[in-house]
Amino acid sequence: QVELVESGGGLVQAGDSLRLSCVASGRTLSNYAVAWFRRTPEKEREFVAAVRRTGGYTYYADSVKGRFTISRNNAENSVYLQMNGLTAEDTADYYCAADSGVILSQLRNPGAYDYWGQGTRVTVSS
């Protein structure tokens, strides 16, 4: 069982940056693929970014590519999402998710992840 706790959300202005953290307990997070999803009233669990279990390969939604960076900190059993150049369209509840058995073709599928955090809210004012 992996427990995930997100933090780092908040209210910022357009153009600002935030770093979201996803801290794991119970298991070693480096043994899991980890993804960030976001949810708005219009979109249910939209894929944002993912890092594979092996090789450190990263993947991004087109809407965030070049602005967001997902990274691991194995010493802190964590995954981060650095978000730069935020816009009002990035306003959402952000969730990290983990699973040890996600295959490459399913990395962007929220249904492929067994473990989820409680979410952290990001609000970007324009």
Which pLDDT score is estimated for 55? 84
Query: Measured on CA atoms in the order 39, 45, 47, 51, is the torsion positive or negative?
Result: positive
Average pLDDT in the 72-81 region? Answer: 96
Other beta carbons within 10 angstroms of residue 34's beta carbon come to 29
Token pair for 54: 């092996």
Instruction: Tell me the Cα Rg of the chain.
Output: 13
Query: Measured on CA atoms in the order 48, 55, 19, 77, is the torsion positive or negative?
Result: positive
pLDDT at 82 over 90: yes
Token pair for 14: 């357009």
pLDDT at 27 over 90: yes
pLDDT digits (tens, 9 = 90+) for 36-67: 999 999 989 999 999 999 888 999 999 999 99
Which pLDDT score is estimated for 123? 98
Token pair for 32: 């899991």
